[in-house]
Amino acid sequence: MKNPQQPLPAHWAVRFFSIWTGQAFSLFGSALVQFALVWWLTQKTGSATILAAATLAGMLPQIVLGPFAGALVDRWNRRIIMIAADASIAAFTLLLAYLFAIGKVETWHVFAIMAVRSLGGAFHFPAMSASTPLMVPEKHLTRISGLNQTLQGLMTLIAPPVGALLISVLPTQSVLFIDLGTAALAILPLLFLSIPQPVREDAGKTEKVSLLGDVREGLAYVRSWPGLVAILFMALFLNFLLTPTGALMPLLVTKFFGKGALEFGLMDSAWGFGVIAGGIILGVWGGFKKKVATSMMGIMGIGLGITLVGFVPANMFPLALAGMAFSGVMNPITNGPLGALLQTIVRKDMQGRVMSLVNSGATAMTPLGLLIAGPVSDVIGIRTWFWVAGIISLLMGLAGFFIPMVMTVENNHGKEDVPEIQNPSVLSAIE
C-alpha cells in the first residue's frame, strides 16, 4: 500500500537546498577531522594494525547498530534525529579537542570518538536519505542523487590536501574546532525549517510493534520484494569486488607499473575527477526514464573501466588513468539512480529501515572484501583481481537488463505490501 505524500510547496528548493548546503559543510568538516585523526594515529603509533583497528572502529557501529538506528528513524522525528546526531558528534569532538589541548589524549580516545561519529552517521544517513523524497519532487530525485555524488567526489579531492595544509600549520585541536563550526552550519537551518513526517501504517493500532519487531518488519519488507532483493544483492556483491581495488592500487602502481607516489596520486585524482564529472552529467541529464536501466549501464561502465586498468600493459600507464577516470564517471551513474530508485519505490514510512539496511550491508562488505582480496591477490596476482572484478561487474550489469524482476522493479511502485510480521514462515526465513 502506498504511503500518501503531501503535495510539495512551489518553493521546495529553498527549504531543501538550505538544509543540503548545511549538510555539505558538515560533510567537509567531518572529512577534515577524519584526515586529522588518521594522521595523528599514523604519527603517534606508526602501526598498520592501529590504523586497521581505527577503520573498524569507524565501521562497526554502522554495521551492527545500523538496522536499529533505521528503525528508530522511522519511529522518531527525522529533523530532530539529524539535529541530535550532528550535535552529539560535535559535543564529543569538542571533548576530544579539549584532550588534545591539554595533552592528555590517548589512542583509545581517538578510537572512541571514531566509533561515536560512526554511530551518529548511522542515524544521520538514513534520516537525511529518507527525508529527501519528502522534500524533493520525484522527478528531480535522480538529479539530486547526482549532486550528492558530485559532492562526494569533491570531498575526495579537496579534503586531503586541505587537511594536510591545516595540520601542518595548526594544532590538531584547532582542526577539530573547524568541525564544530561546520556542524553548527548544518544544525542552524534545521532549527527553522520543517521536514515532513510520513504517516506510519501502524499509527492507529493500539498494540505497538517493538523496536526489534520494526527491524524484522524492515527485513520482511525487503525480502517480500524479489526485484529489490536482487538489486541490493548486486550492490553488495559489487562493493565486495570493487572496494579492494582501492586498497590494492598502491601495489598495482608500484609493483606492476613501476611508478611512485605521484602516479598513485594521479590515479586517485583521475577517479575523483571522474566522480565529479559523472555527478554533473547525471545532475544535468537525469538518467533514463527507467532508473534501474541507468544503474545497470553504470555498473557495466565501472566494470569496463576496472577491466581496462587490470589488462593495460605496464608501459601504458596513461591508459590505466583513463580507465580509472571512466570508472569514476560511471560511479555516480550507478549509485545516483539506485539511491533515487529506493527513495521512489520504498514506502515512505519504511525508508529509514531500508536505507540503514543497505548502508550496513555495504559497510560490512568493505572489511570482508579486504580480508579476502589481500590473500587471494597474493596468490593469483593483483592485476587478476582487477580484471576478474571488472569482468564480473560488466557481466552483472549486462545480465540485469535480462532479469525481469530487476527491470520491472519500478512498475510495482506504490503497490507493495509488508507481510504481517506475526507470520511464522516470514520470521523463520529472516531470523
Measured CA to CA, the distance from residue 36 to residue 28 in angstroms comes to 12
Do 395 and 264 lie in one domain? The reply is: yes
Measured CA to CA, the distance from residue 268 to residue 249 in angstroms comes to 9
User: By residue range, what is the domain housing residue 27?
Assistant: 12-192
For 15-25, write each residue's pLDDT tens digit: 999 999 999 99
For 171-183, write each residue's pLDDT tens digit: 989 999 999 999 9
3 state SS of 431: coil
At residue 374 the predicted structure's pLDDT band, cuts being 50, 70 and 90, is confident
**158 Cα distance to chain centroid:** 18
Do 130 and 263 lie in one domain? The reply is: no
What cell was used for 70? 533505521
Could you write out the DSSP letters of every residue in 214-271? Answer: HHHHHHHHHHT-HHHHHHHHHHHHHHHHHHHHHHHHHHIIIIIS---HHHHHHHHHHH
If one counts the domains in the chain, the total is 2
Among 192, 227, 245, identify where a domain stops. 192
Do 292 and 356 lie in one domain? The reply is: yes
Q: Report yes or no on 1 lying in a domain.
A: no
State residue 287 phi and psi, 5-degree precision: 80, 175
> Has this prediction a pTM greater than 0.85?
no
Q: What angle do CA 252, 312, 383 make, to 5 degrees?
A: 40
What cell was used for 409? 522493479
The pLDDT of residue 52 is above 80: no
3 state SS of 410: helix
Nearest CA-CA partner of 302 in 253, 340, 280, 335: 335
Q: Report yes or no on 222 lying in a domain.
A: yes
Q: Report yes or no on 110 lying in a domain.
A: yes
The pLDDT of residue 5 is above 60: no
The pLDDT of residue 324 is above 70: yes
For 228-283, write each residue's pLDDT tens digit: 899 889 989 999 999 888 878 888 888 899 988 788 888 888 998 999 999 999 98
Highest mean pLDDT among 5-14, 53-62, 240-249, 331-340: 331-340
Among 165, 192, 219, identify where a domain stops. 192
For 201-231, write each residue's pLDDT tens digit: 655 554 567 888 888 888 898 888 888 899 8
Q: Report yes or no on 203 lying in a domain.
A: no
Measured CA to CA, the distance from residue 176 to residue 204 in angstroms comes to 45
**pLDDT value of residue 204:** 53
For 110-143, write each residue's pLDDT tens digit: 999 999 999 998 899 899 988 999 899 988 898 9
Amino acid at position 61, single letter: P
Do 177 and 215 lie in one domain? The reply is: no
Do 238 and 180 lie in one domain? The reply is: no
Q: What angle do CA 23, 29, 35 make, to 5 degrees?
A: 135
- Here the CATH number for the domain that contains residue 73 is 1.20.1250.20
